């Protein structure tokens, strides 16, 4: 299996620009998670989906952040407009209920907003 695939791996963008991060979960997994990791705040759960439906978005920092999962094999996390404080590593992860909820992480998208 290819694992969780994220793109882009690295992005540098200017403040005010729109950023779109993409994720392809492991085939057959019914849960998808978006996490953000920073030195100051550690690992934060932003939102997670079950069978393409958002279950808990209480971790989404503000209205500038939005996430979608149009189908079982694709999800996006969008930041519009981006700000320097959004600079972080964004991890997508997926899991399968039947396997005891072990979460598998993608390699992350390293975002720098200047």
Residues forming contacts to other proteins in the complex (CB under 8 A) are 31, 33, 42-43, 45, 48, 50, 55-56, 91, 93, 95, 97, 100-108
| Smallest separation (angstroms) from other proteins to the CB of 86 | 19
**Residue among 36, 17, 6 nearest 114 (CA):** 17
DSSP letter for each residue of 25-47: PPTT--EEEEEEEETTTEEEEEE
In terms of CB distance, is 10 or 85 closer to other proteins?
Answer: 10
| Smallest separation (angstroms) from other proteins to the CB of 108 | 5
């Amino acid at each position: 299996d290819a694992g969780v695939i994220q793109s882009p791996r690295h992005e540098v963008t200017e403040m005010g620009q729109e950023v779109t991060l993409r994720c392809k979960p492991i085939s057959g997994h019914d849960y998808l998670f978006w996490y953000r990791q920073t030195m100051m705040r550690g690992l934060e759960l932003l939102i997670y989906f079950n069978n393409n439906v958002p279950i808990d978005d209480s971790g989404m920092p503000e209205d500038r952040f939005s996430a979608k999962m149009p189908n079982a094999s694709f999800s996006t996390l969008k930041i519009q407009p981006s700000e320097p404080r959004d600079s972080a590593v964004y991890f997508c992860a997926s899991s399968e209920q039947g396997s005891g909820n072990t979460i598998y992480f993608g390699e992350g998208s390293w975002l720098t907003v200047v």
